[in-house]
Structure 1
Amino acid sequence: MISAFLSYWNYGRRFCGIEYYSPSNDTSRISVLTAIKKNNEFEVEETFEANKVLKCARKLKKNQHAFLCITSSQVLLKETTTTGTDAKVVSSAFPNVELNDFYYEILHSSEGSIVGLCRKKMVHQIISSFEEQNIRIIGFSLGFFSLQNLLGIIKEQEVRLPSFILHTNGREIISFDRAGQGNENTNFNIGDTTINYKFLLPLASLFNYQSGNVYYTSNYITKNLELKKEHHQKVFFRKGLASAVILLLVMLLINYLFFSTYYSELQQLSRKHEIEISQKLAYDEKYKEVLEKEKIVENILNNSNSQSSLYLNRLILTIPGSVLFDQLNYQPLQKQIKENEPIIIEKNIILLGGESTDEEEFSLWIKDLEDVTWIEEVKVSDYGYSSAGTSKFLLILKLIEDEAVY
């Protein structure tokens, strides 16, 4: 599971094999095969040829990775029966070669070895020509040695390639001959797929994506590892950056959604809180006004009750037998109490009302009231007959301010 994920992360689903052949510096032939990997099997998607790297890049997707097989005339191939170390085998095929300047590859078989040799400078130039066109080379092989990966499937004694004829025993490449262009209709059946001989090597190179080959040895294993590592780093940077941006956008979106939700709720709560505060302030203000009015009314009532009782006691002492009180209003209101309007009373005023059955005695009583020291003025506001021998009256007594009542 992890290896499948890493493979998909680093390479995606599309794999590419390329054979680069150049008989001279002026001409070249590039065979390209792309395949889709499904259930650990390669399904051929497209094959095409090009005579320039630029034309090849135009047909591939940008940043397409590929494994490169170099079969150009700059790759020297030679058979040898010498055994031993790689250096010994290469020296037997190419005596006096300075190995520090060359890449070599050795294909071992039961009958000997085939050595491929190419200058490092030339290999680097070819790889750079692909890299400049955004084709990411993740590894390379010299000559036709990658075809060893397909021999178990092809099982042919003689395999024709565009530049070589390979002789096999069904399991190994024993020898080779250089050859010119073959029959264009030469095809091979690979499983359920028919492959033209020009694209056998690109197809075989796809198996080099996963691991090194056990059939041959070389001195460029480190270089191939560097190419893979460089590709993986670029993929990680590109996909990692894209993933980070997407993750950041998703987090921002989630944060925005949560923030919008909570911010909306916060606004509603804030508005509700502000309304409650406003209502509480209004309530407190009204309550304060009510308390003040209650206090005023209470003072008025307390004062009126105490003073009215005192005045009533004093007035009773002067009342004749023919007079009967039915009203005593001390410091009456000037007008009815209304909301948001001040309470106004008539200070030092007593309204005194009742009935009288003796008009003469009533008049004498009025004169007696006028002589009271704490009454400043006596005014008859209303006087009239209510029934036979009985009269209704209303007196307004104006009191002297701060005058003691005796």
Structure 2
Amino acid sequence: MLSHIITYSKFGNLFCGVEHTSINGQEKLYGLLLKKKKDEFLVEKTFKSTDIDKLIDFLPKNQPLSLIINNEKVLFKSVHGVFDAQKALALAFPNLKKEDFYYEVSTAKSDTYIAICRKEYVDSLIEEYQKESYQIVGFSLGNLAIFQLAGFIEDDEIYSSNSSIYLKNGAVESISYSNGLQSNLYTINGLQVASKYILSLAGILNYYVGHKNSVSNFSTRIDKLNDNFKQQRLFSILLKFGLAFIFVLLLISYLFFSSYTSKIDYLNAALELNKTDKNTLLKLTDAVQKKEQLVKNFSLSSSKASWYLAQVGKLIPASILLSEIKYQPLVKNAKEDEEILLEKYNIVIKGKSSDNVEFSKWVKKLELQDWIDKVIIVEYGADKATTTKFELQIKITQ
């Protein structure tokens, strides 16, 4: 079940959670990296560090991370009884200036747990990660991320890096601080994870399915972090695609140009040897010039193609995966000495969609673009149980 949930994310094949905790007054970083292989998730590595700038020894740059902030900067309290977030905050921290703090609240069977941390510290921590080229996509305070993982834990008692957690029937009963010296190994949904990395695993799950078991005042902050990450990822993908596309066009241009330049050189030499072939040579030269102009047109259209593809890319939702995109495709395969015919002002897009509603919204957004004349759905049919193949034809406004 846990692997099945994470499978639906679109963030590569590496999933990482990092916990900031305090052991005997010393700052520790405990990290867990999961890797997707085929249809299952495996523990790629666990790692310990004392500084963010040392994570380069364990993680690739631009790796998305889910943070657990569980050190001395976090104040953690419980109140007996089940209360809503605002009531619990008032009971636990009656003089709290809410505008200065991030807070997170979770409820157990008979108690409510509250964790708070200054916004200034959390934001500066996120900024440190960003300076090291890591993408923070979510965070949680104290041990409260464990509420997300509780349903997958079969043990009645587990230990995190600094607390003992009691569970019953897949729900948290109580959380109390411990000395952090316990080092137990747990099997959670097929993944073997040591106690020090339990919250890192919970952080990964917490982000990819959302904060369903807690109430906080930083959901907007997390949404902004997610948007920034998705935009950077989309830009990176489109940039690589665009550069590859331009390179292919330039390579084709070079091959065409080299080929026809050689023909011109040959014909010029023949002209010197045999004046009677002048008319033939002129005809061939004219043909070559036309083809050279075609090559130039290819080069000039590359910038337009990149712009169109970028505009399409901005509108693609996460539920759609492209398999093919063609700008002004060939009408038919070109043969020797025949004119190369293109479907001008056309873009063909093929791929798969896992959400019919999102697909329809996407098509409507495309139809509203000023540069698009109309969008034709050429094909839309089931591929697998969860995905649907599609083919679109976009008519560009002339």
- Tell me which interval the TM-score lies in, with the shorter structure as reference length: 0.5 to 0.7
Q: Which amino acid aligns with 2:102?
A: Y
- Number of residue-to-residue matches in the alignment: 275
Partner residue, 2:172:
173
The 5-angstrom pairing of residues 281-300 of structure 1 reads none
> In structure 1, what is the Cα distance between the partners aligned to 2:42 and 2:198?
14
The 5-angstrom pairing of residues 66-145 of structure 1 reads 66-81=65-80, 83=82, 85-145=84-144
Instruction: Write the deviation string for residues 102-141 of structure 1: whole angstroms up to 9, x where unpaired.
Output: 1111112332321111111111122223222222211111
Distance 1:4 1:213, change over 3 A: closer
> In structure 2, what is the Cα distance between the partners aligned to 1:67 and 1:52?
16
Partner residue, 1:228:
226
> In structure 1, what is the Cα distance between the partners aligned to 2:62 and 2:133?
5
> In structure 1, what is the Cα distance between the partners aligned to 2:267 and 2:81?
90
Partner residue, 2:13:
13
Give the TM-score taking structure 2 as reference length: 0.62
| TM-fit CA distance, 1:82 | 5.2
Distance 1:280 1:102, change over 3 A: closer
The 5-angstrom pairing of residues 243-258 of structure 1 reads 243-258=241-256
| TM-fit CA distance, 1:257 | 2.0
RMSD: 2.8
Q: Do 1:82 and 1:89's aligned partners in 2 also have CA atoms closer than 8 Å? A: no
| Bigger Rg, structure 1 or 2 | 1
| TM-fit CA distance, 1:52 | 1.9
Q: Do 2:89 and 2:114's aligned partners in 1 also have CA atoms closer than 8 Å? A: yes
Q: Which amino acid aligns with 1:58?
A: D
Partner residue, 2:317:
none
> In structure 2, what is the Cα distance between the partners aligned to 1:67 and 1:271?
69
The 5-angstrom pairing of residues 304-319 of structure 1 reads none
| TM-fit CA distance, 1:20 | 0.5
| TM-fit CA distance, 1:246 | 1.9
Partner residue, 1:327:
none
> In structure 2, what is the Cα distance between the partners aligned to 1:181 and 1:68?
19
Instruction: Write the deviation string for residues 306-363 of structure 1: whole angstroms up to 9, x where unpaired.
Output: xxxxxxxxxxxxxxxxxxxxxxxxxxxxxxxxxxxxxxxxxxxxxxxxxxxxxxxxxx
> In structure 2, what is the Cα distance between the partners aligned to 1:259 and 1:87?
72
Secondary structure at the counterpart of residue 246 of structure 2: helix
| TM-fit CA distance, 1:278 | 4.4
Instruction: Write the deviation string for residues 149-189 of structure 1: whole angstroms up to 9, x where unpaired.
Output: 332222222111121011111322121111102333x1111
Give the TM-score taking structure 1 as reference length: 0.61
Partner residue, 2:57:
58
Secondary structure at the counterpart of residue 47 of structure 1: strand
- Identity score, percent: 29
> In structure 1, what is the Cα distance between the partners aligned to 2:126 and 2:277?
81
Q: Do 2:68 and 2:140's aligned partners in 1 also have CA atoms closer than 8 Å? A: yes
Secondary structure at the counterpart of residue 180 of structure 2: coil
Q: Which amino acid aligns with 1:175?
A: S
- Uncovered stretches (5+) of structure 2, i.e. residues with no partner: 280-398
> In structure 1, what is the Cα distance between the partners aligned to 2:39 and 2:208?
11
The 5-angstrom pairing of residues 359-378 of structure 1 reads none
> In structure 2, what is the Cα distance between the partners aligned to 1:38 and 1:105?
34
Q: Do 1:53 and 1:130's aligned partners in 2 also have CA atoms closer than 8 Å? A: yes
> In structure 1, what is the Cα distance between the partners aligned to 2:264 and 2:9?
48
Partner residue, 1:46:
45
Instruction: Write the deviation string for residues 280-314 of structure 1: whole angstroms up to 9, x where unpaired.
Output: 79xxxxxxxxxxxxxxxxxxxxxxxxxxxxxxxxx
Q: Do 1:81 and 1:111's aligned partners in 2 also have CA atoms closer than 8 Å? A: yes
> In structure 2, what is the Cα distance between the partners aligned to 1:34 and 1:255?
44
- Uncovered stretches (5+) of structure 1, i.e. residues with no partner: 282-406
Q: Do 1:79 and 1:175's aligned partners in 2 also have CA atoms closer than 8 Å? A: no
Q: Do 1:19 and 1:30's aligned partners in 2 also have CA atoms closer than 8 Å? A: yes
Secondary structure at the counterpart of residue 187 of structure 2: strand
Q: Do 1:136 and 1:231's aligned partners in 2 also have CA atoms closer than 8 Å? A: yes
